[in-house]
Amino acid sequence: MSKINVLIAGSTGYIGIELVRILYKHKNVSIKYLCGKTSVGKDISFYDKSLKFKKLPKIVKFNKSYLKNVDLIFTALPNGEAQDLSKKLLSKNILIDIAADFRLNSSKSYSFWYKQKHRASENIKKSIYSLPEFTGKIIKNFKIISCPGCYPTSILLPLIPLIKKNMIKLENIIVDSKSGYSGAGRGVHKTYAKKNLYHSLKAYGVGFHRHNSEIEQEITKYTKKKKMNITFTPHLSPMFKGILSTIYFESRNGNSLKAINNLLKKTFAKKKFVKIKKMNSYLSTNDVIDTNECHISVCKTKYKNKYIILSAIDNLIKGGSGQAVQNMNIKFNLPESRGLI
């Protein structure tokens, strides 16, 4: 097949750089444009020395005239900007958004959680929230593909199968997630300049983090309108990247640790990027860094029917650029793992 001509908007951020690295090596992709605002005219290697001497276009300011020359646009932009770009798409264009602009099913929900009006609400119905392990080939019917947030990716992958099969109680699910500081973007260094970012742990968004919205939205698709209660608290950790989510829950109808583990193994048996580890394994972000994998371990506690799931991903790859490429591969009828292994 001919190559997919690609434009990357937001190419100089942490996720954008990872996306350039992956797509440069992808044999079915041609990177036509790298777009940025404050770095016009620079080589992308200014932000990543490993890209030096690679044949890549210089960074340019986005112009809608570029759209006629590309098949696919990746947006790794601040929230709101992909909405504006989506209104300029030509009939031939596909948009894969790695920000939050099309994650929520209604403009009302978006306005509530992101404190700004949705500027392309007419395009929400043309979009799909795609966690590829569950969405699969249905994304071929949509022009706009929204990639899940990094935290929700680590949380939804283990929880959805268990909730779908009614194996765990919906009350009092507690999620404690630790992320590398890259998840806060390049501006994190200025924001925390005087707060010892590299040697301390910081909770933020306690009780009301924006990712609550998509976690609850996606889980309620499988709860048959039953009320659920998830408490989610994220933390910035003194590491560059990686996420480790610790999920506390109670099983329903006495489902055992082994039964829960077996269901997850069965669910993901043919999924290349989700690895169910041996029960009671202690996971490390180090095991998933620079991969598109999610590692999951189910652990016992001293209390009857109460268990803990550990879920680890690279926030910039499985929680960002890698998942976006995974969605691209499915959309364009390519092997799902192409360019990612």
Catalytic residue among 35, 147, 150, 294: 150
Mean pLDDT for the stretch of residues 152-162: 98
The predicted-structure confidence for 214-244, as pLDDT tens digits, reads as follows 999 999 999 977 778 899 999 999 999 999 9
Q: Which amino acid is at 206?
A: V
Share of the chain above pLDDT 90, in %: 90
Domains of the chain: 4-148+319-331 (3.40.50.720), 151-315 (3.30.360.10)
Q: Does residue 335 carry a pLDDT above 70?
A: yes
Report, in this order, helix, strand and coil percent for the chain, each rounded to 5: 35, 20, 45
The predicted-structure confidence for 236-261, as pLDDT tens digits, reads as follows 999 999 999 999 999 999 999 999 99
The predicted-structure confidence for 120-137, as pLDDT tens digits, reads as follows 999 999 999 999 999 989
Residue among 12, 92, 14, 86 at smallest CA distance from 45: 12
The predicted-structure confidence for 78-99, as pLDDT tens digits, reads as follows 999 999 999 999 999 999 999 9
> Can you say how many angstroms the Cα of residue 174 is from the centroid of all Cα atoms in its chain?
20
CB-count burial class (<10 Å; 0-12, 13-18, 19+) for 303: exposed
Q: CA 182 to CA 179: how far, in whole Å?
A: 8
Q: Does residue 193 carry a pLDDT above 70?
A: no
Across all residues in the chain, what is the average pLDDT?
Answer: 95
35 among known catalytic residues: no
